[in-house]
Amino acid sequence: MPTDLKRIDEPGHVHFWTISCYRRLAFFYHDNVKQSAIDGLHYIQDKFDICLIAYVIMPEHVHVMLYPHKPSDDTPIPISLLLREFKHFVGVDAKARLRDIWRERGRLWAQPLNHWATSNESEKPIWTTRGFDRNITRQDILHQRIDYCHKNPITRGLVNTADEWKWSSYRYYEHADESVLKMNWNGEWPIIW
The string of pLDDT tens digits covering residues 102-142 is 999 999 999 999 999 998 877 899 999 887 899 999 999 99
pLDDT band at 5 (very low <50, low <70, confident <90, very high): low
Distance of CA 140 to the CA centre of its chain: 21
For the sheet containing 61-67, what is the strand order? 51-57, 61-67, 14-20, 132-136
Q: Which domains does the chain have, with CATH numbers?
A: 14-175 (3.30.70.1290)
Q: Which amino acid is at 94?
A: A
